Structure 1
Amino acid sequence: MRDAAPSGLPSTHTPAPHGGDQALARTLLNDEGLPADRVLPLLETARSTGQPLADLVLAAQAVPEAALARAHARLTGWTVIDPTMDRPDARLIDRIGAARCLADGVLPWRSIGGVTFVAVAHPRRFDTLLPMLEAGLGPVRPLLATEGDIERALLALRGKALDRAARTSVAPAESCRDWGGLRLWSVLTGLAAALLASLILFPLALLWLATAWAIATLALATMLRAAAAFAALRRQPPDPPPPAIARLPVVSVMVALYHEADIAPRLVRRLGRIDYPSDLLDILLVVEEDDHVTRAALRRAQLPATMRVIVVPDGGLKTKPRALNHALAACRGSLVGIYDAEDAPAPDQITRVVERFHARPERVACLQGVLDFYNPHTNWLSRCFTIDYAMWFRIILPGMERLGLAIPLGGTTVFFRRHILEQLGAWDAHNVTEDADLGMRLARHGYRTEVIASTTMEEANCRTIPWIRQRSRWLKGYMMTYAVHMRRPRQLLHQLGWRKFLGFQIFFATTLSQFLLAPVLWSFWAVPLGLPHPVAGQLPPALQLATFTVFLSTEAVLLAVGVMALRLTPNRINPLWVPMLHLYFPLGALASYKAAWELVTRPFWWDKTHHGLFDPAEPAPPGQT
């Protein structure tokens, strides 16, 4: 390295000029020749909203990035560089952390004469980041580069390393990333051969076995649903007043976006309603490097100061958990939450989450919010989906929590203590139901999840084929999660204890079995229709009565829980829609066969659900549950 700064580089740091928006506006008008009718309205917006004029100019595409960099250079006297042509020293990036550099839009460039030169896109950003930069790099001096050049340079130098870290954050023993290979195919080939032989040699015995298992798991599922309903609806003593919070924490919220060009502006408006103090709210919009459509939409959306875009380096694996793992390193908060692209959370939700975490011991590592829909009346499928979600989030999940069972998380409106999330390796990037998997890993390591009575409204998937595709992804993830955690059953039992272990077995075994073996149970409709049935007609009277009791109890519990759940949701749906679930659940059987096939052929493929199709109007802010 040279001992002196080359010509054109500053030898001392001159702070960015204060009140720079007006000076920047004059420079854009006089030196870049922008018309006044384009600059002055943006300057007025900057004054009224507090957003930097530079951000507004770029969002409005009023000037190219290079021209804005030249304007900043005229005001500050700093040098503009192109790091894509004059490559930075990657070792300096590692001292700050590539993820942090990417999140803050800062690029350590070269170390010359004991001083590190650091490029930023906006002068104000350098002053804000100066303490962090000096802590990691020692004496620093500023340079200017466009945001696009900084991002491209960082991804070119450290994109592969960032991708690898996001894919392998979970311990191998608790990850599904090694799923597949010759061993799996050998096992599946053996099972397929045994099943085919049984069908040929012992078809009736196989049918008897499938029927017995289907009825047994149906009985267990009914008992779990009934027990959860009793626990959830049992009156609880009121919580004591929460202790006063001396200092509110910073809360980071991540939203993974992929091909969401139409929903991005609405997302910005909905999350903008959150009433937590803006200086303590850190919203990360996480987007893939090659998703140019969504990135362009976010640039046009004029993001407020609480929101920033995090670019995920390109990689062969395109899953939500991989993107979240990457963005987690860029979070600034001690609490971390997840929303989906179409979510409209209650305005006071973050405040209530902070209060609940403050009132609970460290062992409560996760809070799961309640999900509901803002388009429940679109068609019959949206009504059934609403009833399904109402039963799950308002009765089954709270009941499982009160029964002391491990909770499979939802993929949105879920909040964590960040240090515990990082301790567990965050999300398994290869699991397409990363939320359920993380819920089990939290329980395995001795942590608890609680359901918080705050609602997020989202869009019901109300088209048949997309619904099947979405549900198949969830069921594929359930299959994968069960297989991963059952690699060492004794260790799982030791970690969970008998109660949670049995709950884990019942939940996953009944959920998957009921969908996969649904046709076996449907066949019993032949009996009341007077048609012959190869099993029912051979059962002794006592077993016939027991089977009839299981079927009747299942219907009664399903109807009762469905009606009770509807009373707890703000959506006004006639209870007579509850019996329509008999036409709704068969779609899940189709989804389960798709899931089983993909578990073998495409285990890590993320079947993307598209949103924004049935949302013509902005939903009203949700109330409390």
Structure 2
Amino acid sequence: MQQQTRHSPDLSTKTRNFLCQELIYRGHVSADMADRAQIMAQQRGMALADVFNRGFGVSQYAVAQAQATERGAQYINPFTDAPDLSLIALFGVEKCLQMGVLPWRSIGGETVVLTARPETFHQDQALLHNHFGRVRMAITTEEHLNRALSQLCEETLVARAETKTIDSESCRNWAPRRALAVGAVFGICALACAVFKPILLVALLTAWAVITLFLTTALKLVAAVIGWREATAPANSVIPARLPTITMLVPLYNETAIAEHLLARLSDLDYPRELLDICLVLEADDQTTRATLGRTTLPRGIRAITVPTGGIKTKPRALNYALDFARGNIIGVWDAEDAPAPDQLHKVANAFANAPPDVVCLQGKLDYYNASANWLTRCFTIEYASWFRVILPGLQRLGLALPLGGTTLFFKRDALHALGGWDAHNVTEDADLGIRLARHGYRTRLIDTVTEEEANGRAWPWVKQRSRWLKGYAITYLVHMRDPLRLWRNLGAWRFFGVQLLFLGTLSQFMLAPLLWTFWLPALGFGHPLSSVLPSWAFWTLAGLFFSSEVIGWLVAYVALHKAEKRWLFKWAFSLTLYFPLGALAAYKGIFELLTKPFYWDKTTHGVLLPSSWQTPTPPLQPPSHPALGG
């Protein structure tokens, strides 16, 4: 704890800010740097201290010391001079993080409150006075404040991260044993029906499979037709006068091969560094990633947030924890292997500036940078192109609720907090959040920016990844269908139908696909279980439906690959018939896990099939000194 006593010279005849003068006096910046920082702060509408920290690499400690002198206040490090925990509990750790304050100790009839944002402290005084009576401001750094709160209030913050979503919209109260019992009852009934009424069972399942195939095929066709042309930008679009601060959350777990390339790609972003807050979100017990980053110097604007261990270990839990420490008004998500377009964040800022207030989420397009690695990555790339460049735009124009992708997502921070963040227990937290957005009256808009990822190019890891997605689809559907009437009222009839088709229809198609494949048996000279009850014209009708479905799938792939400028992949679209059986296997694995370990996160390994241009070691980064895991 230090008391600042030295007074600065009289600056009444100068235009240079006191903080600038103090940092010049202390030798932390040059006069030219100080002047540029002051102009930048005025142009950006930012606190001058933030410009020095994030834009010019001046340490938080140096700026805080100068601020303490400027305001005649104490500088206190709450990590070494421990605060009174009862004061934090009285005020609430959530408000402490949101406001950047920490009630430290009661001394002489007043409460000393530390702040990392002295320029806005006066705005918080009324609320602080209501809790503590007389208060006195002291200065600390954001790093020390966050570090103290994260360690002193660890249990509270972990519990908050795991239960941020309200009970009625979360799957955390999903009971695997009860689900297993219900599943066993249905299994026994199906087995009995298979023994005593096999034709009836096959006929019913076939009818449902055909209905869902027809509806999903029709949706693909409509999406392909209306999604042929890109949506036109509004004629009266504006460029924001001041760009927002954007926090990007990048969850990492057991990453080795990808870390160096990740930092290089993030350094290529052309968004102003002083407005960019990239948080690498690490698990406390992830020694692999921590060791990798521990050997790395993080570029300016990139910091690490360590998530303590808790009851579960999932990506959405980590995101919820990191959300409380985010600086930006816009919160984005990238995955470890992502390669976002350098101008992506400018497009995000422009899109939000031109969007109506109810648009609180933007979804970018995803693609793969290793499409040519093998047959599986080619098929995966075709599937992704079809989804993000044709199906999703079609769903948006049809006015349906959009199940989000897990990356290249951007949210208005206030709306994300109001929604309860991500469901920490849902293994497809993205799709679930898309439905919750729609239920609460918000909208998602697609934007024309691309993030490239690493396609999973090995069969069993592909099955494990897809089984997690389908398990999450199943649990998301079951959570939102707990009260179908309420879901209907929230979404309306049209979007309610869309949820049924997108979730139940998708699951049905994957699980019942082998049943539909049996209709190729007569063409191969074998009998079919329904040949005794279905006339020959019915088989030909079904064959026509199956063939039409394939043709429409090829049409969607052609449109998507044309938009993605990857037309060279189209010849591989004809082999997708051999690709989707892996999805059926993944569906069975996912449903089994839904009944046995619903919250298990089957982690995908990254850095396995990187492009050849990435195989050679990249030169070490030479940013300002910011230890990756320091503090």
* TM-score of the two chains, using structure 1 as the length reference: 0.81
Aligned partner of residue 287 in structure 1, secondary structure:
strand
Show the counterpart of 2:57: 51
Show the counterpart of 1:189: 184
Show the counterpart of 1:310: 305
Give the distance between the partners of 1:555 and 1:145, measured in 2 at CA. 56
Describe how 1:180-219 pairs up with structure 2 within 5 A: 180=175, 183-219=178-214
Tell whether the 8 Å contact from 1:100 to 1:329 is kept in structure 2 after alignment. no
Aligned partner of residue 457 in structure 1, secondary structure:
strand
Show the counterpart of 2:331: 336
Aligned partner of residue 415 in structure 2, secondary structure:
helix
Tell whether the 8 Å contact from 2:245 to 2:330 is kept in structure 1 after alignment. yes
Show the counterpart of 1:611: 606
Please point out which of 389, 398, 406 is paired with 2:393. 398
Give the distance between the partners of 2:587 and 2:424, measured in 1 at CA. 22
Describe how 1:195-274 pairs up with structure 2 within 5 A: 195-234=190-229, 238-274=233-269
**Cα distance change on mapping 1:107 and 1:421 into 2, 3 Å:** closer
Tell me, yes or no, if structure 1 residue 486 matches structure 2 residue 481. yes
Tell whether the 8 Å contact from 1:133 to 1:140 is kept in structure 2 after alignment. no
**Cα distance change on mapping 1:20 and 1:394 into 2, 3 Å:** farther
Show the counterpart of 1:293: 288
Describe how 1:101-180 pairs up with structure 2 within 5 A: 109-113=104-108, 138-141=135-138, 154-180=149-175
Show the counterpart of 1:32: none
**Cα distance change on mapping 1:21 and 1:300 into 2, 3 Å:** farther
**Cα distance change on mapping 1:236 and 1:50 into 2, 3 Å:** closer
Tell whether the 8 Å contact from 1:232 to 1:398 is kept in structure 2 after alignment. yes
**Cα distance change on mapping 1:9 and 1:555 into 2, 3 Å:** closer
Residue 612 of structure 1 deviates from its aligned partner by 1.5
Give the distance between the partners of 1:485 and 1:265, measured in 2 at CA. 40
Aligned partner of residue 219 in structure 1, secondary structure:
helix
Show the counterpart of 1:321: 316
Residue 358 of structure 1 deviates from its aligned partner by 1.5
Q: What is the identity, as a one-letter code, of the residue corresponding to 1:51? A: G
Please point out which of 507, 510, 517 is paired with 2:512. 517
> For 1:281-303, what per-residue CA distance to the aligned partner results, in whole angstroms no more than 9, with x for missing partners?
22222122222332343343322
Residue 51 of structure 1 deviates from its aligned partner by 3.1
Show the counterpart of 1:18: 23
Residue 112 of structure 1 deviates from its aligned partner by 3.1
Show the counterpart of 1:534: 529
Give the distance between the partners of 1:169 and 1:270, measured in 2 at CA. 32
Deviates more, 1:350-359 or 1:128-137: 128-137
Show the counterpart of 2:588: 593
* Cα RMSD after superposing both structures: 3.5
Aligned partner of residue 370 in structure 1, secondary structure:
strand
Q: What is the identity, as a one-letter code, of the residue corresponding to 1:484? A: V
Show the counterpart of 1:359: 354
**Cα distance change on mapping 1:585 and 1:387 into 2, 3 Å:** same
Give the distance between the partners of 2:508 and 2:343, measured in 1 at CA. 39
Q: What is the identity, as a one-letter code, of the residue corresponding to 2:165? A: V
**Cα distance change on mapping 1:80 and 1:89 into 2, 3 Å:** closer
**Cα distance change on mapping 1:136 and 1:308 into 2, 3 Å:** farther
Residue 142 of structure 1 deviates from its aligned partner by 5.6
Give the distance between the partners of 2:93 and 2:119, measured in 1 at CA. 18
Please point out which of 561, 570, 574 is paired with 1:575. 570
Tell whether the 8 Å contact from 1:217 to 1:510 is kept in structure 2 after alignment. yes
> For 1:334-362, what per-residue CA distance to the aligned partner results, in whole angstroms no more than 9, with x for missing partners?
22111111111111111111111211211
Tell me, yes or no, if structure 1 residue 387 matches structure 2 residue 388. no
Show the counterpart of 1:88: 83
Residue 556 of structure 1 deviates from its aligned partner by 0.8
Gaps of 5+ in 2: 9-18, 30-51, 62-73, 129-134, 616-631
Residue 204 of structure 1 deviates from its aligned partner by 2.3
Give the distance between the partners of 2:165 and 2:102, measured in 1 at CA. 28
Give the distance between the partners of 1:235 and 1:410, measured in 2 at CA. 19
Deviates more, 1:557-566 or 1:601-610: 557-566
Give the distance between the partners of 2:117 and 2:430, measured in 1 at CA. 37
Residue 460 of structure 1 deviates from its aligned partner by 0.8
Give the distance between the partners of 2:244 and 2:141, measured in 1 at CA. 32
Tell whether the 8 Å contact from 1:82 to 1:145 is kept in structure 2 after alignment. no
Residue 235 of structure 1 deviates from its aligned partner by 6.6
Residue 101 of structure 1 deviates from its aligned partner by 6.8
**Cα distance change on mapping 1:519 and 1:280 into 2, 3 Å:** same
> For 1:568-606, what per-residue CA distance to the aligned partner results, in whole angstroms no more than 9, with x for missing partners?
113453321111111211111111111001001110111
Q: What is the identity, as a one-letter code, of the residue corresponding to 2:600? A: W
Show the counterpart of 2:628: none
Deviates more, 1:199-208 or 1:183-192: 183-192
> For 1:460-480, what per-residue CA distance to the aligned partner results, in whole angstroms no more than 9, with x for missing partners?
111111111111110000000
Tell me, yes or no, if structure 1 residue 506 matches structure 2 residue 504. no
Show the counterpart of 2:548: 553
**Cα distance change on mapping 1:79 and 1:277 into 2, 3 Å:** closer
Residue 192 of structure 1 deviates from its aligned partner by 2.2
Give the distance between the partners of 1:20 and 1:589, measured in 2 at CA. 69
Give the distance between the partners of 2:55 and 2:166, measured in 1 at CA. 45
Tell whether the 8 Å contact from 1:321 to 1:430 is kept in structure 2 after alignment. yes
Tell whether the 8 Å contact from 2:316 to 2:422 is kept in structure 1 after alignment. yes
Give the distance between the partners of 1:171 and 1:80, measured in 2 at CA. 37
Q: What percent identity do the matched residue pairs reach?
A: 47
Give the distance between the partners of 1:229 and 1:368, measured in 2 at CA. 19
Tell me, yes or no, if structure 1 residue 473 matches structure 2 residue 468. yes
Tell whether the 8 Å contact from 2:28 to 2:58 is kept in structure 1 after alignment. no
Give the distance between the partners of 1:500 and 1:578, measured in 2 at CA. 30
**Cα distance change on mapping 1:570 and 1:106 into 2, 3 Å:** farther
* TM-score of the two chains, using structure 2 as the length reference: 0.81
Give the distance between the partners of 2:119 and 2:283, measured in 1 at CA. 27
Residue 199 of structure 1 deviates from its aligned partner by 2.1
Deviates more, 1:457-466 or 1:264-273: 264-273
Give the distance between the partners of 1:54 and 1:591, measured in 2 at CA. 49
Deviates more, 1:445-454 or 1:258-267: 258-267
Aligned partner of residue 523 in structure 2, secondary structure:
coil
Q: What is the identity, as a one-letter code, of the residue corresponding to 1:390? A: A
Deviates more, 1:524-533 or 1:272-281: 272-281
Residue 452 of structure 1 deviates from its aligned partner by 0.9
Deviates more, 1:279-288 or 1:600-609: 279-288
**Cα distance change on mapping 1:82 and 1:277 into 2, 3 Å:** closer
Gaps of 5+ in 1: 1-7, 25-45, 56-77, 620-625
Give the distance between the partners of 2:254 and 2:6, measured in 1 at CA. 41
**Cα distance change on mapping 1:606 and 1:181 into 2, 3 Å:** closer
